[in-house]
Amino acid sequence: MERRYSEYSERELRDEIAELTEKAQKAEQLGMVNEYAVHERKIIMAKAYMMNPDDFSAGETYEMDGDYEHTFFIEYMNGIFAWGYRKQNGQKVSTEEEALPISMLGRHVQE
């Protein structure tokens, strides 16, 4: 039975990220796009468990790693997930609320 990332120690998370990174690189080299994407998502989740959710606040906007056109406004936090919506040029992009692992968020943005 597989353990949840929330049960891993920081050392175990680092080892898991290293292993997943290696697997992702191999999948990319072999042109296995779907497998690569799965490993990348797992890396994002493992990294989120190494971060402190208290470093992020509801009612604040943050950069999004890998998406330089949008920022992310947090409506509320639930564990390692920030719930809110994407913004572009200070304006809400969609009315659909979404959840992002905190590892996908970057620096705080002053608006």
pLDDT tens by residue, 14-32? 999 999 999 999 999 999 9
User: So what's the pLDDT on residue 110?
Assistant: 87
User: So what's the pLDDT on residue 85?
Assistant: 96
Say what angle helices 10-29 and 33-48 make with each other, to 10 degrees. Answer: 160
Cα angle: 96, vertex 98, 100; to 5 degrees: 160
The distance of Cα 66 from the centroid of its chain, to the nearest Å, equals 10
DSSP one-letter string for 10-68 = HHHHHHHHHHHHHHHHHHHHTT-HHHHHHHHHHHHHHHHTTS-GGGS-TT-EEEETTEE
- Mean pLDDT, residues 4-20 taken together: 97
pLDDT tens by residue, 43-99? 999 999 999 999 999 999 999 998 889 999 999 999 999 999 999 988 898 888 999
Contacts 24+ apart (CB under 8 A), 81-86: 81/48, 82/56
